[in-house]
Chain A
Amino acid sequence: MAQIGPRLDENVHFVKESLGYSNDIVIRELVLDSREPVRAAILYTDGMVDSHMVQGVLINSLLYKTRFKEIELEREEDLVPFLKDAVLTVGDIGDVNNFPELFTAMLSGCVIILIDGYEKAMAIGLQEWKDRGVTEPTAQTVIRGPREGFTESLRTNITLLRRRIASEKMWVETRRIGEVTKTEIAVVYIKGLVEEGVIEEVRNRLDRIDVDGLMESGMIEELIQDAAYTPFPTISNSERPDVVAANLLEGRVAIIVDGTPFVLTVPSLFVEFFHSAEDYYQRADFSTLIRMLRFVSFFIALLAPSLYIAITTFHQEMLPTQLLISLAAQREGVPFPALVEALLMEIAFEILREAGIRMPRAVGQAISVVGTLVIGQAAVEAGIVSAAMVIVVSITAISSFIFPAINMSIPVRILRFPLMILAASFGIYGIIVGVLGLVLHLCSLRSFGVPYMSTFAPFSFKEQRDAILRAPRWMMDKRPESITKRNMRRQSPNLKPKPPEH
């Protein structure tokens, strides 16, 4: 029975039965004291509603405040509109037309009012539940900048964004995804800045998702990203409202998922994963240098072990003689070829790193990096690996921690290994082929229609202001044109600070 019938007791019984007589569903039956007493029922999920409001305001207004007897109603059907117009002293009232909608609303924290004789119900939004509260984001910390992070509640997250963007142009569209979980997600964008094609594509892809349950935004990410088989992330996520707000201002679309503090932003470019929020709050020159450091670390983390293996086994003529002699001295007595040494150390490091995440907070951080160095040192003294290899592996590992966005360190960690194998088989030629393949792959990626390597390929001179460099604030007067071509101006071009005229 999908439609709400006119008989209250049948409806209530249906609800109870469908929910398996769950004991957190509260059904309060009451009588509206009008000319002819009308039975009504109030249904809600205990734990998801503001009980004080339900009891003190809603039920109060229906039972006490309103003198139904004194009210003349012309026709019977006028009762529900009358309740809405004049009786219910609550803010958010909606209509429920059938049972699926009723269940969705009730189990999301709305209070349902069923009235005998009416084939519709009302859903009143009085949600309140225990939230984690707005705390400092743990995954993305900055030294200077706001310390608010998103929470698991959709409403709070949207509020955090609204507080930062007070424009009426910030539009929020919600939909529910997941047959069983019916998770609410919100698509947020600034109308007039975002490209219509992108927002249309986002809607299409979200509507295409047909899953039972949606736990985290990561699931949505996997289902709507452009390329299926790539280790590189094409959708960025953030726990910080200021980052998401800044992205919205550049013409991107944010997808907020109820139940997780990580908000997705599309479209995302390769360079974005090297940007941290702090880059924009600290001074431009410092930020530029730090960004360059990050790019250099990217190459170190990806290529250092491979280059070491390739040069010391194939291209010894490239080393200066003194360095060659030092390295040769270290390798005396080491039983394994360079590749095996490298793989052993790298895998040991990965094991320690992964284990460090699960260890109790106090111990975990220290163990992963320092522990590997200690184990490496012991291995060197035992003569199993050479000291230079420990150094290379440690530098690689530390470099891979430098990314502000963890989802970029994942492809680097993965791709290290195939590159090492290529280096050990074919020397620098193998590395060149591997890197070439990687570049081809990266250039073929798109993020919601925008080429993934956008500021570098196709090269845009104007956008270099915010790629590896971070131009001073007064120079950044145009939006990045790869994301949106509408309304390019974002600040006046005449903002350069000057000493006073006199």
Chain B
Amino acid sequence: MKVIKVLLCLTLVFLLGGCWNRKELNDLAICVGIGIDKVKTGYSVSVQVVDPAEVAANKGKPGRAPVTLFTMSGATVFEALRKMTTISPRKIYMSHTRMLILGEELAREGIAPVLDFVSRDHEFRTDFYIAVARGTTAHNILKVITPLEQIPANELFASLETSSKAWAPTAAITLDQLIADLTNKGKQAVLTGIKLTGSPEEGDQRENVEQIDSNVLLQYTTLAAFRGDKLIGWLNEKDSKAYNYITGNVKSTASLPCKGGGRLTMEIMKSNSKVKAILKNGKPEIMVDIHLENDIGEVQCKIDLTKMETIEEIQKEAEKGMVATGMRAVTYAKQHEVDIFGFGDVIHRQYPKVWKQLEKNWNKEFAKLPVHIKAEVKIRRLGTINNAFKEK
């Protein structure tokens, strides 16, 4: 009898529950890339949605495009997404978003309002990267069909990830990192830029990838510096590299001119950077200590690598070059009064009392902050041959 009562209660619970928030797989529009631009009436949101039947592993010949772009504008991002259901057959499912692209105009006006939606919504995960569309709109970036990778947003994701490790001037920034930088008074945010090589109308066509040499490609450029949540300028390639060196997340190349013409390229295997603050007469100064362990990557000049003196010379040259690059980047940042390196954070951690006084006006104080960069480069390996065979 007790069992029957329990079963009856359970049945009622099941009927009332209504299956919670069940969504079948074919009721989802899987969004992989989302782009937000500024328009007069508010925001224009472009959503790149996967067409699963086209992308499936056992598909025969391609019919439709692998992804679809839905664009809609609204006063807020949330409204734009809900309005999108008027053109999309299914409700957009955000969990698998891989890239968030912000238009340059929007970035200059301020990204914080947009980021509120992205961080508040429960469907978003935090593993996607954020980038700024440079010289074009996010809509155009998301329209391009990419070679080799069927889903363009995947291509963007993979390219950013790899290039941030192998080619220093880009940085793969995730949402929580970005928000941490935005809220941290001691560091300003940076984001990587994407540009379009070619016209967006061509990029939309399948012909773009049906030829060997695609006309339209998506390319990552250098970093954008933010003051607060507003974009204020673009670093050049060398400065972006320096940024990555100073913040310690680089594993890439550095190239030097040799004496007697030609260039020597080294590959950085391990890099480590320590940023410390010291107090001189009550005023803080920053010491940056960069350690690099390199392998020789490519030799295009006449030097004898088998001699220890040559190696030491190369090391010294590399150290000088590193310090110079670093100082240039710091100068640029000081000029624009944005502390993108997080020196304020370091001071905050080491000398909190001093920081309290400097906090309010940090950007101006940063412009006056003395920064000393020291680099130590060690060459470990020469690759699989010793001297270039052309030498003789």
Nearest B-chain residue to A336, judged by Cβ: B24
B234 at the interface (CB under 8 A from A): no
Which of A148-156, A259-267, A424-432, A466-474 binds B? A424-432
B193 CB → nearest A CB, Å: 25
Chain B residues within an 8 Å CB radius of A424: 19, 22
B290 CB → nearest A CB, Å: 37
Chain A residues within an 8 Å CB radius of B59: 329
Q: Among A312, A338, A425, which residue has its beta carbon within 8 angstroms of that of B14?
A: A425
Q: Among A326, A334, A425, which residue has its beta carbon within 8 angstroms of that of B57?
A: A326
A331–B17 contact, CB under 8 A? no
A314 at the interface (CB under 8 A from B): yes
A208 CB → nearest B CB, Å: 24
For the complex, what is the distance from the CA of A425 to the CA of B151, rounded to whole Å? 33
Report A293-343 residues with CB < 8 Å from chain B CB: 312-314, 316-317, 321, 324-334, 337-338
B6 CB → nearest A CB, Å: 11
A321–B32 contact, CB under 8 A? yes
A325–B50 contact, CB under 8 A? yes
B26–A334 contact, CB under 8 A? yes
For the complex, what is the distance from the CA of A316 to the CA of B26, rounded to whole Å? 11
Report B80-101 residues with CB < 8 Å from chain A CB: 93, 95-96, 98
Chain A residues within an 8 Å CB radius of B52: 325-326, 328-329, 332
Report B170-195 residues with CB < 8 Å from chain A CB: none
B148 CB → nearest A CB, Å: 15
Chain B residues within an 8 Å CB radius of A325: 30, 50, 52, 55-56, 151
Number of interface residues of B (CB under 8 A): 29
For the complex, what is the distance from the CA of A338 to the CA of B25, rounded to whole Å? 9
A324–B56 contact, CB under 8 A? no
Given the contacts A325-B55, A328-B30, A316 and B23 also touching, CB distance less than 8 Å: yes
B19–A332 contact, CB under 8 A? no
B125 at the interface (CB under 8 A from A): yes
Report B38-96 residues with CB < 8 Å from chain A CB: 50, 52-53, 55-57, 59, 93, 95-96
B30–A317 contact, CB under 8 A? no
A312–B25 contact, CB under 8 A? yes
B19–A425 contact, CB under 8 A? yes
Q: Among A312, A313, A321, A329, which residue has its beta carbon within 8 angstroms of that of B56?
A: A329
Report A191-239 residues with CB < 8 Å from chain B CB: 229
B24–A326 contact, CB under 8 A? no
Chain B residues within an 8 Å CB radius of A421: 14
Given the contacts A325-B50, A326-B57, A427-B20, A317 and B95 also touching, CB distance less than 8 Å: yes
For the complex, what is the distance from the CA of A227 to the CA of B213, rounded to whole Å? 74
B20–A314 contact, CB under 8 A? yes
A216 CB → nearest B CB, Å: 28
Report B104-150 residues with CB < 8 Å from chain A CB: 123, 125
Chain B residues within an 8 Å CB radius of A313: 22-25
Nearest B-chain residue to A422, judged by Cβ: B14
Chain B residues within an 8 Å CB radius of A321: 30, 32, 96, 98, 154
A400 CB → nearest B CB, Å: 25
B55–A329 contact, CB under 8 A? yes
Mark contacts of B21-35 with chain A using CB atoms, 8 A cut-off: 1 yes-contact digit, 0 otherwise: 111111010101000
Chain B residues within an 8 Å CB radius of A328: 25-26, 28, 30, 50, 52
Chain B residues within an 8 Å CB radius of A316: 23, 25, 28, 93, 95-96
For the complex, what is the distance from the CA of A426 to the CA of B21, rounded to whole Å? 8
Chain A residues within an 8 Å CB radius of B53: 329, 332
For the complex, what is the distance from the CA of A316 to the CA of B24, rounded to whole Å? 9
Nearest B-chain residue to A334, judged by Cβ: B26
For the complex, what is the distance from the CA of A334 to the CA of B32, rounded to whole Å? 23
For the complex, what is the distance from the CA of A337 to the CA of B26, rounded to whole Å? 9
Nearest A-chain residue to B29, judged by Cβ: A328
For the complex, what is the distance from the CA of A316 to the CA of B92, rounded to whole Å? 13
Chain B residues within an 8 Å CB radius of A229: 3
Chain A residues within an 8 Å CB radius of B3: 229
B26–A317 contact, CB under 8 A? no
A209 CB → nearest B CB, Å: 25
Q: Among B20, B21, B30, B57, which residue has its beta carbon within 8 angstroms of that of A324?
A: B30
A317–B125 contact, CB under 8 A? yes
Nearest A-chain residue to B23, judged by Cβ: A313
Q: Among B26, B151, B154, which residue has its beta carbon within 8 angstroms of that of A332?
A: B26
Chain B residues within an 8 Å CB radius of A337: 22, 24
Chain B residues within an 8 Å CB radius of A331: 24-26
Nearest A-chain residue to B153, judged by Cβ: A321
For the complex, what is the distance from the CA of A317 to the CA of B50, rounded to whole Å? 15
Mark contacts of A234-261 with chain B using CB atoms, 8 A cut-off: 1 yes-contact digit, 0 otherwise: 0000000000000000000000000000
Nearest B-chain residue to A310, judged by Cβ: B22
B49 CB → nearest A CB, Å: 11
Mark contacts of B234-266 with chain A using CB atoms, 8 A cut-off: 1 yes-contact digit, 0 otherwise: 000000000000000000000000000000000
Chain B residues within an 8 Å CB radius of A326: 52, 56-57
B56–A330 contact, CB under 8 A? yes
Chain A residues within an 8 Å CB radius of B56: 325-326, 329-330
Q: Which has the most chain A C-beta neighbours within 10 Å: B21, B22, B28, B32? A: B22
For the complex, what is the distance from the CA of A331 to the CA of B26, rounded to whole Å? 6
For the complex, what is the distance from the CA of A421 to the CA of B14, rounded to whole Å? 9
A317–B24 contact, CB under 8 A? no
A314–B24 contact, CB under 8 A? no
Nearest B-chain residue to A429, judged by Cβ: B20
Chain B residues within an 8 Å CB radius of A327: 25
B26–A314 contact, CB under 8 A? no
Given the contacts A325-B30, A424-B22, A426-B20, A317 and B96 also touching, CB distance less than 8 Å: yes
Report A410-435 residues with CB < 8 Å from chain B CB: 421, 424-427
For the complex, what is the distance from the CA of A251 to the CA of B160, rounded to whole Å? 66
Chain B residues within an 8 Å CB radius of A427: 20, 22
Nearest A-chain residue to B54, judged by Cβ: A329
For the complex, what is the distance from the CA of A316 to the CA of B17, rounded to whole Å? 20
Chain A residues within an 8 Å CB radius of B22: 313-314, 337, 424, 427
Q: Among A314, A333, A334, A425, which residue has its beta carbon within 8 angstroms of that of B23?
A: A314
Chain A residues within an 8 Å CB radius of B125: 317
Which residues of chain A have a CB within 8 Å of any CB of chain B? 229, 312-314, 316-317, 321, 324-334, 337-338, 421, 424-427
Apart from A321-B154, A332-B52, A427-B22: 8 A-B pairs, beta carbons within 8 A: A314-B20, A314-B23, A316-B93, A316-B96, A321-B96, A330-B56, A337-B22, A425-B19
**CB pairs A–B below 8 angstroms (28 shown):** A312-B25, A313-B24, A313-B25, A314-B20, A316-B25, A316-B93, A316-B96, A321-B32, A325-B30, A325-B50, A325-B56, A326-B52, A326-B56, A326-B57, A328-B26, A328-B30, A328-B50, A329-B55, A331-B24, A331-B25, A331-B26, A332-B53, A337-B22, A337-B24, A338-B25, A424-B22, A425-B19, A425-B20
Q: What 10 A-B pairs come out closest when comparing CB atoms?
A: A329-B56, A317-B95, A328-B52, A329-B52, A331-B26, A331-B25, A321-B96, A328-B25, A313-B22, A325-B52
